[in-house]
Chains A and B, each alone.
Chain A
Amino acid sequence: MTAPPAVPRSFREASARRRLLDLLDPGSFRELLGPAARESSPHLAALDLPVSFDDGVVVGAGRLGGEPVLAAGQEGRFLGGAVGEVHGAKLTGLLQRALRERPRAVLLLLDTGGVRLQEANAGIEAVSEVMRAVLSARGAGVPVLALVGGAWGCFGGMGIVARCCDAVVMSEEARLGLSGPDVIEASRGVEELDASDRAMVWRTWGGKHRALLGEADELVEDDPAAFRRAALEWVRRPRPLSLPALEREQAFLARRLEELGGCADGPDAWRAAGVAEPDRLPLLDLPAWSAAVGGARRRRP
């Protein structure tokens, strides 16, 4: 037997399959409609673009802490994890399978820039069908978790999908939002936002800001074992899709908007949220960050 690796593996640098294998109980993952099925994008082929036999997403069944789960991993290395017809249908099919199999949870390892523009209409439609399927699964009592730790982060319509899940777990290095920096710069100009300013990009979409807002429920190190621990924890804490629960969420979001609505930048928001020395936050490791933000950190009800 080989010895365990001396250096912790990076979740971010791993492939989608590797992430799933690391997240789930050893030996438990079984892929559905894997590459052997050669279910690739007909639209990319029509454009003479390279295709992938899994269309950039791995879906299947496994176990987490001994309990059955369904799980999907988007492959950021194929077209930035972007969602096309087949890619989206695999996610939707997995979530529909959850209605039949009633697993303990569905885990979505999101790593995506959003809609695959080469399949524009089919892409947005696919994202919409995934969104409905996530909420159907939750409504039927199957928790759905979003784990965001890939190099692409999670943007576009899939950024909305992440927040349709019961909970969001993020690494510090990951990013989450709707309109990404390049999109905003392209549509509104560099005066609105300079996408090349990496520190600003990180302060706006990065894990620490998202966790401070409460948009991410838990912030973890870029380590597969940390994502696994967080997944084990959050599958036990589903959020009901009930009127009282959504009214509490409404009040939470309204209050946050009142308190932070005047802020146009991450550090402004951190100060307004009650962090004493906001400019220090980017420099701190996670335990120190956690201590520094303390009660200023918002948490969804």
Chain B
Amino acid sequence: MTAAELLRRLFPAGCEVRREGDLLLGTGTAAAGPVAVIGIDGGAEVGVEGALRLARAVLEVVREHPGRPILTLVDSRGQRMSKRDEVLGLNGYLGHLAACVELARRSGHRILALVHGEAVSGSYLPLGMMADDIHAVEGARLGVMALPAMAQVTKIPLARLEALSRENPVLAPGLEPFLRIGAVASVWRAPLDAALAEALARPALPDGRAALGRERGGRLRAELVARRVRDEDADGP
């Protein structure tokens, strides 16, 4: 689905979202009112300029439209991998972006993410994955690395990884595994404007992804381990 098509379906009442390079920036009209749209499109990689632009967009919403919900759209292969981006401190720009999203949350903005294409690592972490809750359209391609590359890095035969990934959702890329580990809350199906309205109507909750992963059987330890560290008395020396 193209971004234009996606936006038409999300905001049948209209939207003013402009394209700046690979970024989508603007406002859509949802049933309950205006929603700020901040997104990455076309599978683009995000470098220092893109990260800074996205952060500025988040800060502008916080400053100029207190309380307005934010919908982040993600179709990105990840961070731009270049020497220049590293020399200039890309991790710092992306850390700042994540902090801006947290500021928006703490300032009362509801923050939703919708993965409409690829969602991989460096760009997905500070934008989409910082949302209160994360959704995806069918066909979304989330992942860390393809199995052949993983086989190469981990020295585990590909056939074995493929067999294991049928049972274990932590290995294979795709939408289904990310649903099972609780990393994606739900799949939005047509009509998308209704899915958006429904998500906006729900209150923001603390990060519940580990609990969701346990419920869905895809990530059994995370919630329990975090809870034990959070609540148990410290061991003696």
Q: Which residues of A are interface residues toward B (Cβ below 8 A)?
A: 27, 29-34, 36-37, 39, 42-43, 46-47, 59-61, 85-86, 88-90, 92-94, 96-97, 100, 115, 117-129, 131-133, 135-136, 138-139, 156-157, 159-164, 176-179, 183-184, 187-188, 192-193, 204-205, 209-210, 213, 215, 241-243, 246-247, 249-250, 253-254, 256-257, 260-261, 263-266, 268-269
Contacts and interface: CB of A to CB of B under 8 A. Distances in A.
Contacts of A131: 98, 125-126, 129-130
Interface of B: 48-49, 52, 55-56, 59, 62-63, 79, 81-96, 98-100, 102-103, 106-107, 121-122, 124-126, 129-130, 142-145, 150, 153-154, 156, 164, 168-173, 177-178, 181-183, 206-207, 209-210, 213, 219-232, 234-237
B2 to A, nearest CB: 27
A92 B236 contact: no
B144 A178 contact: no
6 contacts: A92-B222, A117-B145, A121-B172, A128-B183, A131-B129, A178-B79
Contacts, number: 279
Contacts of A264: 83-84, 87
A29 B62 CA distance: 40
Contact of B170 (A85, A129, A249, A263): A85
B178 to A, nearest CB: 6
B177 to A, nearest CB: 6
A31 B235 contact: yes
A161 B95 contact: yes
Given A129-B207, A178-B90, A243-B62, A120 B144 contact: yes
Most buried by B among A29, A46, A100, A122: A122
B79 to A, nearest CB: 6
A32 B145 CA distance: 32
A117 B153 contact: yes
Contacts of B143: 120-121
A266 B86 CA distance: 10
A209 B92 CA distance: 13
A71 B103 CA distance: 24
B219 A125 contact: yes
Contacts of A121: 142-144, 169-173, 177-178, 181, 183
A205 B92 CA distance: 12
User: Which of A31, A92, A215, A256 has most B Cβ within 10 Å?
Assistant: A92
A250 B219 contact: no
B125 A192 contact: no
B222 A157 contact: no
Contact of A260 (B88, B95, B173): B88
B121 A124 contact: yes
Contacts of B100: 246, 250
